[in-house]
Amino acid sequence: MTEQTLVLVKPDGVRRNLIGEVIARIERKGYVVTDLRYVSATRELLTEHYEEHVGKPFFEPLVEFMMSGPTVAVRVEGNGVVEGFRSLAGATNPTTAAPGTIRGDLGRDWGKAVIENIVHGSDSTLSADRELGIWFK
């Protein structure tokens, strides 16, 4: 069954010129990029995206990081793409992410208040639908 998911190449990935690498890995896996946007995220967009984290101690540093530069929002389609991309991305912490994953190969701990881990991927089909609606209005 074909699904859609949201992939974000976060500001650290954009700054490090990893957009093409991330998209190439998605495409080599056999998924299809069906829409792509270069976005300067606003506080409003990020508050909507991260609504479950509003008020948590890491919320403000996360929003500041995500507003620190452009983000590339990518709509990706394929069978099992939500779970498949999360596997391709690797563990949230790049220090423990497995080699061969995006975060394992390209990320590292920079000792900052927020983990800069290159990419975001929706965690469920419900989240994907909600997040795609936010980033691709």
Task: Calculate the CA dihedral of residues 35, 39, 43, 48 and round it to 10 degrees.
Answer: 0
Q: Report the C-alpha gap between 63 and 60 in whole angstroms.
A: 5
Please identify which of the residues 45, 120, 128, 132 carries the catalytic annotation.
120
Structure tokens at 21: 């690498």
**Tens of pLDDT along 49-75?**
999 999 999 999 999 999 999 999 999
**C-beta of residue 121 within 8 angstroms of C-beta of residue 86:** yes
Indicate if 53 belongs to the active site: no
pTM above 0.85, yes or no: yes
CATH number of 2-135: 3.30.70.141
Q: Tell me, what's the pLDDT at 1? A: 75
**Tens of pLDDT along 107-123?**
999 998 899 999 999 99
Q: By CB neighbour count within 10 A (0-12 exposed, 13-18 middle, 19+ buried), where does 119 fall?
A: buried
**Tens of pLDDT along 4-60?**
999 999 999 999 999 999 999 999 999 999 999 999 999 999 999 999 999 999 999
